[in-house]
Amino acid sequence: MKAILISHRFNPGHISHLEATARLLSDNGFAVNFRMHAKYNNFNPAFSRNCFSLWKCMQLERGDLFFIHFPSVSALMDLILVKMLTQARTIFVFHEPYTSFASYRASGFGILQALRIKLISLVNKLICAFSDKIILPSERAFRAIPDAINEPSRFAKINLIFSDESTPSDLSSQRQWISYVGTIAEDHAFREFVDLVYQCAHRHLLESFQFLIASRSVIPPQLIEKVESCVISGRLTLVVGNPLTNAEINRFYSGSYIVWNAYRRSMQSGVLPKSYMFGTPVLVSRNNVDANFTDGVHGRLISNNSSVEEFLNAVQFIHQNWPEMSRKCREYYLRNFDYRTLSDLLMKFIQR
C-alpha cells in the first residue's frame, strides 16, 4: 500500500507535521511518498527522494492513501483527478475552517486580508467535497463545521501529529528567552508582544529574562523602529526574514523559558504542542484558550494581552512554578500529540 502526502504550499513550520505523519503511516505498513513544494527539499532530503509525480498519482489503487495536509489550488486540482480516475482513499487535514468575515476583521485583519481568507475558504470547501475523510485538529475547528457531528464516519477531531524531536540535553538546556516563535500576524497579537517587550526593555522590567522573535516573516514597517530599539537595548534577539530549519526552530523552543501563545484568535496552534514537546510553558489569551491548556498547569492565562501588569504577574507566576509546569507540559505532549499515541485513533478513522 502507498500513501502520498501532499503539501504544495511551503511553510517550514509544517515540516514537523509532515514528518510525523510519514512516520505514523510507515509504521502502519504504508510506503510513504511525497508531492511537495520544491522548497521543502532543502529541509528534508526524503521529500525529494520519494517524490511522486501527478502521473504516478493517477496510478494509485484501492487501499492507497492520498493525504492532503495543507490546502491549495494545486492540491485541489490533484485531488479532483485522483478522485475521478483512481480508487484511492482521499484525506484532508482541515486546519482552519472559516468562521465569519467579521471575526477576521475583529482579529485585526484588513478588509483585503479578510477577503483573501474568504476566497481560500472556498478552496477548502471544494477540497472537503472531494475528500473521503476530513481530520479537524481541534475542538474549535470541529465545532466550526456543522456537518462534523452528524457525519462521524467522515469527520473526526484528531490533534495535530508530531514526532518527538527533543533530546535529553534540550530538556535540561539553559533557558533564557520569553519568545515569539512563528508567523508574524495580526491575529497572533504580534503588536501586543512587541509593545510588552518595549515596556520591559525601557522600564528595566523582568531584567533576568531576555526576549526572542524568531520568524520567517519580516517585521511590519510600523513596528521596525520599536523593535530595533529593543534590540539596541540588548534585551531582544531578532531572527527574522528567512525560513528557519527545523533544528533552528527546535533550538528556540528548547532555549525558551516561556513561549507567547496569547493570540487574538486561533483555530488551533502548532506553537502550543511544539512548546509542550520541549517542556516549555506558554502564555495564552482568553480568545484562543482551548482544551489542551490548563491555566496554572501548562502556563498562564491572561485576560488582556496588552496589560504590562498582567504580563509581569504571569511571567513571575510561571517562574515560581517552572519545574512542575515544564514537567506537566512535557507529559501532556506525550499523551496527546505524539504520533505513537495517536496512531491507532488515526488509522481506525482512515480505514473505517
Residues 297-319, mean pLDDT to the nearest whole number: 95
Tell me: do 143 and 177 sit in the same domain.
Answer: no
Tell me: do 11 and 34 sit in the same domain.
Answer: yes
Tens of pLDDT, residues 196-228: 999 999 999 999 999 999 999 999 999 999 999
Q: Please report, to the nearest 10 degrees, the dihedral formed by the alpha carbons of residues 266, 183, 307, 99 taken in order.
A: -20
Tell me: do 197 and 304 sit in the same domain.
Answer: yes
Handedness of CA 130, 140, 311, 105 (dihedral sign): positive
Per-residue pLDDT, 159: 93
- Angle (nearest 5°) at CA 160 between 324 and 23: 105
Tell me: do 25 and 151 sit in the same domain.
Answer: yes
Tell me: do 136 and 261 sit in the same domain.
Answer: no
Tell me: do 182 and 318 sit in the same domain.
Answer: yes
Q: Which range is most confident: 42-56, 168-182, 310-324?
A: 310-324
Per-residue pLDDT, 287: 84
- Of the candidates 316, 312, 317, 313, the one whose C-alpha atom is nearest the C-alpha of residue 200 is 312
143 vs 328, more confident: 328
Tell me: do 191 and 289 sit in the same domain.
Answer: yes
- Res. 186 pLDDT band, cuts 50 70 90: confident
Tell me: do 137 and 202 sit in the same domain.
Answer: no
Tell me: do 74 and 140 sit in the same domain.
Answer: yes
179 vs 264, more confident: 179
Tell me: do 325 and 345 sit in the same domain.
Answer: no
Give 52-55's long-range contacts (Cβ < 8 A, gap of 24+).
52/4, 54/78, 54/81
Return the CATH number at 82.
3.40.50.2000
Tell me: do 224 and 111 sit in the same domain.
Answer: no
pLDDT higher than threshold 90 for residue 114: no
Q: Report DSSP state, residue 233.
A: T
Q: Is residue 16 within 8 Å of residue 165, measured between CB atoms?
A: yes
Number of domains, the chain? 2
Could you please report the per-residue DSSP string of 155-210?
Answer: EEE-PPPB-----HHHHTSPP-EEEEES---GGGTHHHHHHHHHHHHHTT-STT-E
Return the C-alpha cell found at 176: 533564557
Q: What average pLDDT does the chain have?
A: 90
**CA–CA distance, 34 with 75 (Å, rounded to integer):** 12
CA distances from 205 to 195, 197, 236, 243 (A): 13, 9, 13, 31
Tell me: do 126 and 199 sit in the same domain.
Answer: no
pLDDT higher than threshold 90 for residue 335: yes
Cell 529541509 belongs to residue: 43
Per-residue pLDDT, 3: 94
- Of the candidates 249, 179, 250, the one whose C-alpha atom is nearest the C-alpha of residue 211 is 179
pTM: 0.91
pLDDT higher than threshold 90 for residue 74: yes
pLDDT higher than threshold 80 for residue 103: no
Comparing 51-60, 108-117, 131-140, 267-276, which segment has the lowest mean pLDDT?
A: 108-117
Instruction: Give the domain range for residue 303.
Output: 168-335
- Res. 162 pLDDT band, cuts 50 70 90: very high
